Every structure is written in C-alpha cells, then in structure tokens.
Amino acid sequence: MATLYEIAPQHRALADRLREMGLDEDAVADTLEAESDLPGKVETYCIVLREKEAEIEAYKREKERFEDLIKSADSAVKRMKSMLLDGLQAAGEKRVQAGTFTVSVIGSKGSVLIKHPELLPREYLTSPLPPEPQPDKNLIYKAITEGHKVPGCEVVPGVRLGIK
C-alpha cells in the first residue's frame, strides 16, 4: 500500500482535476471518497494512533504500579534492617556470624535533629536562589490579540489535529 506522502499529492491532483472539470464540491467530495486512497490511509493512521495512546496509558499505569512496588520493597528493607538492628541490640550482640553473612552493629556519625528551626541563626540556613521569571504566554497572547504591542513577541498561526 502507498504511503501517506505518496497518496496526498495524488489526492490533491485528483481533486484539482475534478474541480477543473467544473464539478461542484459535493461531487468532488463524493468522488474523492470513492476513488482516493487518502480516507483509508487516514483511518489506518487514526486506528494506530488510538492504539498507541492506549499503550501510553497502560505504560503509565504500569509505571505507577512499579513505583508502588519499589516503595513497598524499600519500606520492607528499611523495616527489616531496623528490626534486625533492634534485635541485635536487645540481645547485646555487636557482631553475629550467620551462615555466609556477618552482621555488625556499627556506630555512625549520627544525624541532626532540629527541634526548634525558628531559633537557628541565619548562617545555618541555606538560601536557595529564587526561580528565574518566566514569560506568561497566555497574558502575552491576550495582549497581542487585543491589539497591544509586546516587544519581541508575535502570535503565529497554529494548527493541530482533531480526531473524533
């Protein structure tokens, strides 16, 4: 079967020939529908697009499911490590040889618990940079379409595909 790029110029040429013959637009449309491969090709594209959109949604759901599984497994690992540490400490053991594993209770540098953040001196606070200002395209569009000049901006015509 021919590609869309091959069919499109053939379709246009047929439409032009029919109009040159003096046929009205309804007759041109009916003839194109019967004789051109374009509607069939477009339908095929639309079917494939719907399938791809459905695949994307399925992948998103699967991604969410995997993220939930990762969170669950991560929580289980943390919980089990905590239980193992608590058990070794309760038993008074610092090191246990368990088959192929050697489990040790090791001291760490510790972590900071901030009880009253409002009492911290300024030098202990980070100061993130504020976000860079971004153009408000909706506001610019509205201004230009209402007849105002916005330096460095213009409204360019757009097209999009609608499939029902």
Contact by Cβ (8 Å): 85, 105: yes
- Confidence check: pLDDT of 147 > 90: yes
Q: What is the mean pLDDT of residues 24-37?
A: 87
Contact by Cβ (8 Å): 19, 26: no
Kindly state whether residue 24 falls inside one of the protein's structural domains.
yes
Kindly state whether residue 13 falls inside one of the protein's structural domains.
yes
- Confidence check: pLDDT of 164 > 80: no
pLDDT at 101: 92
Kindly state whether residue 102 falls inside one of the protein's structural domains.
no
Domain count, the chain: 1
pLDDT digits (tens, 9 = 90+) for 60-71: 999 999 999 999
Task: For the chain, give the percent of residues with pLDDT over 70.
Answer: 97
Kindly state whether residue 137 falls inside one of the protein's structural domains.
no
Kindly state whether residue 149 falls inside one of the protein's structural domains.
no
Residue burial 95-115, b: 16+ Cβ < 10 Å; e: rest: eeeeeeeebeeeeeeeeeeee
Residue 31: band (very low, low, confident or very high) from pLDDT cuts 50, 70, 90: confident
Structural element, H or E, at residue 126? none
pLDDT digits (tens, 9 = 90+) for 72-89: 999 999 999 999 999 999
pLDDT digits (tens, 9 = 90+) for 80-132: 999 999 999 999 999 999 999 999 999 888 788 889 888 888 888 888 878 88
pLDDT at 130: 80
Kindly state whether residue 26 falls inside one of the protein's structural domains.
yes
Kindly state whether residue 156 falls inside one of the protein's structural domains.
no
Contact by Cβ (8 Å): 149, 32: no
| Domain membership of residue 31 as a residue range | 1-36
Kindly state whether residue 109 falls inside one of the protein's structural domains.
no
pTM over 0.75: no
